[in-house]
Amino acid sequence: MPVASGDQVVISRPFPLPLATLMTLLRIRMGFPAETFTMAVQPLLKGHQAALGDQPTAHSVVLAIRALDIRRERILPPHAPPEVVGALAPRWTYAVVVASLLRGLRDDGQEDAWGLFETTVPPEVLNWLEQDRQVWDALRRSLVGSAGDANPISQIVETAAGSAPLSEREVRPEPADLMPQGLGGDFMRWVRSGLKDRSLVINTPEALVHRVPEGLLLLSPGIFRVFLLSNAEQSGGPREGLGMVADPLRHLQREVFKLGWHLTGEGGVTLHAYVWCHGPKLGVKVHGVLISPAQRLAEVLPAVNAALERQAPA
Q: Are 116 and 47 in contact (CB under 8 A)?
A: yes
CA–CA separation, 103 vs 163, rounded Å?
A: 13
pLDDT category, 166, cuts 50, 70, 90? Answer: very low
Q: What is the mean pLDDT of the chain?
A: 79
Give the number of other CB atoms < 10 A from CB of residue 65: 19
pLDDT greater than 90 at residue 207: yes
CA–CA separation, 75 vs 55, rounded Å?
A: 32
- Model confidence pTM above 0.85: no
Degrees (nearest 5) of the Cα angle 112, 126, 121?
A: 55
Residues 6+ apart with CB under 8 A from 14: none
**Predicted pLDDT at 8:** 37
- Residue 308: which H helix or E strand, with range? strand 308-310
| Straight-line distance from the first to the last Cα atom of the chain, in angstroms, rounded to the nearest whole number | 53
pLDDT greater than 70 at residue 12: no
CA–CA separation, 63 vs 59, rounded Å?
A: 6
Q: Are 119 and 47 in contact (CB under 8 A)?
A: yes
**Predicted pLDDT at 208:** 95
My answer on whether omega of the bond before 248 falls inside 30° of 0, hence cis, is no
154-177 as b/e, with b when 16 or more CB fall inside 10 Å? bbbbbbbeeeeeeeeeeeebbeee
Digit-coded pLDDT (tens) for 172-192: 555 554 677 889 999 999 999
**Predicted pLDDT at 16:** 46
Closest CA to 188 of 173, 203, 202: 173
Digit-coded pLDDT (tens) for 267-310: 678 899 999 998 888 999 999 999 877 777 887 778 888 899 88
**Residue 38, exposed/middle/buried by CB under 10 A (0-12, 13-18, 19+)?**
middle
pLDDT category, 43, cuts 50, 70, 90? Answer: very high
Digit-coded pLDDT (tens) for 108-158: 544 588 888 999 999 999 999 999 999 999 999 888 875 455 788 988 998
Query: In sequence order, what are the beta bridge partners of 287?
Result: 273
**Predicted pLDDT at 235:** 62
CA–CA separation, 84 vs 134, rounded Å?
A: 13
My answer on whether omega of the bond before 293 falls inside 30° of 0, hence cis, is yes
For residue 206, report the phi and psi dihedrals to the nearest 5 degrees. Answer: -90, -5
